[in-house]
Structure 1
Amino acid sequence: MSAGDACLAAFGERLRNAFPEAQLISRIGGDEFAVLLPSGKTRRDTEMEVGMRIGSLRSPILYNGDLLPIDMSVGLAFVSKDTELNPKLLFEAADRALYDAKRNTSKFLVCS
């Protein structure tokens, strides 16, 4: 297994451990993953919870005796209670937030 494959596999496992309540965790391409969390918590609580959990995802990954650094950006999107769920629009909003986070030094942005 190559170092890149090992990192992706380890990161996917870390996501599963960090978000056991997730309804879906999926690699969507390259080094991008999607995590679908259940509703029921407030937006603020979800943002805080995700923010606290991403620290554990960033620790280096051991590969062939070397510690490989991990960096990540996070984009969040929420379904409004006033609108009908549209998975395509939700994904696009999260994707916009992700790319905004990649350009921003905070590495963590939310999009409605």
Structure 2
Amino acid sequence: MTQELITGTAVFDDEGKQVGKVADTSDVDKVGIITETGSRFWVPTAMLTHRDQRWMLEPGYTEISPAEAKTQQAERELDEANAETFPASDPPSFTMGDEGKGG
């Protein structure tokens, strides 16, 4: 991309109508968009182009439904929480050796 996406930048559809503003650029493969009504959806980065001095969705792009956006956000939060658990900071409180066995 020739121009960097910045949070708060307006995004337009292929007819020139504003669909929302950039809300999240933390993912390399997709961009979070927030609409005037406050709903959010994700757009694959490949579906955005910078032309005529503004960011535009590729022709024919279909907005993700609110239910799918919510599912994607939940999955992302789960992935982030999972990533934060590794590497484990403390070793297990037990070992699987021969200690403690009578004999």
- Could you tell me the TM-score, scaled by structure 1's length? 0.27
Structure showing the higher helix proportion among its residues: 1
Larger Rg: 2
